[in-house]
Structure 1
Amino acid sequence: MTEEVKAHFNKLLQSVDGLMAIVITDRDGVPVFKVATEQTPELVLRHNFLGTFGLAANQASKLGMGTNKSIICMYENHQVVQINKSPLLLTFIASSDTNTGVLLDMDNCFKDILQDLQKVVTVS
């Protein structure tokens, strides 16, 4: 199954122009599964960077507007879109000119895979 999942992720990675990496992590930012191109900045794949979503989402929920579903960070050359799929986080790293709406909509492509991984992460 792992090879099938990796092939599926690689196909999705290539289907979006400018998408450099897809990472699934636990809520602490520890990678569970990832695919990345050579253009992906190494620092954004580290767990201390990926784990900042949990902290930011926690702070954002204190604004009284409900649970935070996603965070989009725009940088000079890159963007990072993180989507809360508790207990997992789905992260997309892309170039700054990639269509952000397409990235946000991609979480629908991961429903089945995330459901299987959620069972494993919840049990562990």
Structure 2
Amino acid sequence: MTLPQLFAHIDGIEAVLILDKDGTPILKLPTAEAVDQLDLQTIIPPAQTLQDQSQRMNLKKLKTVVTYWSARQIITYNVPPLVFIIAADTNVNTGALLNLYNDFQAIASEELANKA
């Protein structure tokens, strides 16, 4: 499955940022300029802090973090070894976006298989 196929059925997704485990951007969709304009990388430190704090409190590892920022919903998916960040319009069904986690797991698995 490819990312364009994944998002074809969800209108309102504005940008996608994929990071490696070190936080280095490896893919920006639809364009690097669109992702940079939204400044999605500023979301990473708070999301990582939230995940670290949840682990210290002996809670389960966070898989997704949903935030609302600047009239957008930002969803961060932690799919080791990758982090997927989606910026979408607030009118997009949040449940549909959260359901993308399993698809991201498949994409991450394919990426690991291709590197092996």
Q: Aligned partners of 2:27 and 2:17: how far apart in 1?
A: 6
Matched, 1:109 2:109: no
Residues 24, 91 of structure 1: 8 Å contact kept: yes
Q: Which has the higher contact order (CA 8 A, sep 6+)?
A: 2
Task: Determine helix, strand or coil for the equivalent of 1:32.
Answer: strand
Gaps of 5+ in 2: none
Moved more, 29-38 or 54-63: 29-38
Gaps of 5+ in 1: none
2:57 aligns to what? 63
TM-score, normalised by the number of residues in structure 1: 0.72
Q: CA deviation at 1:118?
A: 3.7
Q: Counterpart amino acid of 2:87? A: I
TM-score, normalised by the number of residues in structure 2: 0.76
Taking only aligned residues, the RMSD between alpha carbons, in angstroms, comes to 2.7
Displaced runs of 4+ in structure 1, greater than 3 A?
37-41, 118-121
* Equivalent runs, 1:1-124 vs 2, <5 Å: 8-36=2-30, 42-46=37-41, 49-52=42-45, 53-118=47-112
Q: CA deviation at 1:102?
A: 0.5
Change (3 A) 1:43 1:76: closer
Identity between Structure 1 and Structure 2 (%):
25
Deviations 1:11-51 (A, max 9, x none): 333421211122221233211223126765624344xx253
Residues 26, 88 of structure 1: 8 Å contact kept: yes
Matched residue pairs, number? 114
